Structure 1
Amino acid sequence: MRLAFMGTPDFAVPALYALRDAGHEVAVVYTQPPRPAGRGKALRPSPVHHAADTLGIPVRCPEKLRNNQEELDWFATRKFDVAIVAAYGLILPKAMLDAPERGCLNIHASLLPRWRGASPIQSAILAGDKESGVTIMQMDVGLDTGDMLSSVGVPITEVTTATTLHDELAALGAKMVVDVLREQPPAVPQPEEGVTYAARLTKEDGRIDWTQSAGTIDRQVRALTPWPGAFTTLDGVTLKIGAVDVIPERAGAPGVVLDDLLTLACGSASALRIRQIQRPGRGMMDANAFLRGQPVAAGARLGS
Structure 2
Amino acid sequence: MRIVFMGTPNFAATILEDLSQHYNVVAAYTRPDAVRGRGKKLVASPVKETAMSLGIPVEQPTTFKAPEAIATLEQYRPDFIIVAAYGMILPIDVLECPTYHCLNVHASLLPRWRGAAPIEHAILADDEETGVCIMRMEEGLDTGPFCVCRTLDVGEKTLPVLADELANLGSHALLTAIMQILRGQERWVVQKESDATYAHKIEKGELDLNPALGVDLLARRVRASSAGHPSKCVVLGKGATIIDACRADYDEQGKVAASGLGAGQVRFASKRLLLGCADGALEVFRLKPDGKKEMDAQAFAAGAAALHGHDGEWTAQHA
For 2:9 and 2:207, how far apart are their aligned partners in 1? 21
2:7 and 2:228 mapped to 1: Cα distance?
19
Q: Where do 5+ consecutive residues of structure 2 fail to align?
A: 250-254
| RMSD, aligned CA | 1.7
| 8 A Cα contact 1:125 1:222, kept in partner | yes
Q: TM-score, normalised by structure 1?
A: 0.93
Aligned pairs (5 A) from 1:87-106 = 87-106=85-104
Q: 2:266 aligns with which of 257, 261, 264?
A: 257
Corresponding residue for 2:252? none
Query: Which residue of the partner structure matches residue 278 of structure 1?
Result: 288
Q: Residues 208 and 221 of structure 2 are in contact (CA less than 8 Å); yes or no, is this contact kept in structure 1?
A: no
Q: 1:251 to 1:195 in 2, by over 3 A?
A: farther
Deviations 1:165-199 (A, max 9, x none): 01100111111111111122221111223211111
For residue 50 of structure 1, what is the aligned residue in structure 2? 49
Match of 1:223 in 2: 224
State the alpha-carbon separation in 2 of the partners of residues 241 and 98 from structure 1.
45
Which string of whole-angstrom CA distances, capped at 9 and with x for unpartnered residues, describes residues 240-280 of structure 1?
A: 11122313463443111245443222113x11222212111
* 1:15 correspondence with 2:27: no
Moved more, 228-237 or 117-126: 228-237
| Structure 1 contact 136–151 (Cα < 8 Å) conserved | yes
Q: CA deviation at 1:229?
A: 1.4
Amino acid at match of 2:4: A
C-alpha distance in 2, partners of 1:46/1:27? 18
Greater Cα shift, 93-102 or 182-191? 182-191
Between the aligned partners of 1:251 and 1:225, the Cα distance in structure 2 is: 31
Contact 2:285 2:296 in 1 (8 A): yes
Does residue 300 of the first structure (1) align with residue 312 of the second (2)? yes
1:76 maps to 74
| Greater Cα offset, 229-238 or 250-259 | 250-259
Taking the aligned partners of 1:233 and 1:266, their CA distance within structure 2 comes to 14
Partners in 2 of 1:219 and 1:41 — Cα distance?
A: 31
Amino acid at match of 1:266: C
**In structure 2, distance between residues paired with 1:38 and 1:252:** 37
CA contact (8 A) 2:27 2:76 kept: no
CA distance in 2 between counterparts of 1:227 and 1:38 reads 11
Aligned residue number for residue 135 of structure 1:
133
Q: 2:148, 2:176 within 8 Å by CA — same for their partners in 1?
A: no
1:44 is displaced (CA, Å) by: 1.8
d(CA) in 1 for partners of 2:188, 2:266: 54
Encode CA deviations 1:8-65: one digit per residue, 9 max, x unaligned. 111111211222111x221111111112224422222111111111111111111112
Separation of aligned partners in 1, 2:226 and 2:103:
29
Secondary structure class of the residue paired with 1:40: coil
Report deviation, 1:203.
Answer: 2.6
Q: Is the 8 A contact 2:237 2:314 kept in 1?
A: no
Q: Percent identity?
A: 37
Q: Deviations over 1:40-96 (max 9, x none)?
A: 22222111111111111111111112x211111232343211100011111110111
Match in the other structure for 2:190: 189
Tell whether the 8 Å contact from 2:134 to 2:147 is kept in structure 1 after alignment. Answer: yes
Q: Secondary structure at the match of 2:76?
A: coil
Cα separation, 2, equivalents of 1:110 and 1:177? 14
Structure 1: runs of 5 or more not aligned = none
TM-score for the superposition, normalised by structure 2: 0.89
Aligned residue pairs: how many?
A: 300
Report whether the alignment pairs 1:64 with 2:76: no
1:234 & 1:257 partners in 2: Cα distance? Answer: 8
Give the AA of the match of 2:39. G
